[in-house]
Amino acid sequence: MSPLTPSPSPTGEGDKNQDWVEVLRGEVNRTSQRKVGARLGVSAGMISLVLSGQYPASTETLEQRVRGELMSECVECPVLGEIDRRWCLDWQEKPFAATNPVRVKVWRACRSGCEHSRIK
> pLDDT by residue (tens digit) across 10-34?
444 445 578 999 999 999 999 999 9
Q: What pTM was computed for the model?
A: 0.69
Cβ-Cβ contacts under 8 Å for 31 (sequence gap 6 or more): none
Q: d(Cα 45, Cα 52) in Å, to the nearest integer?
A: 11
Domains of the chain, residue spans = 19-69, 74-110
Kindly state the average pLDDT of the residues 62-77: 92
pLDDT at 14: 45
Element (H, E) at 2: none
The whole-chain average pLDDT of the chain stands at 86
pLDDT at 54 over 70: yes
Cβ atoms < 10 Å from Cβ of 27:
20
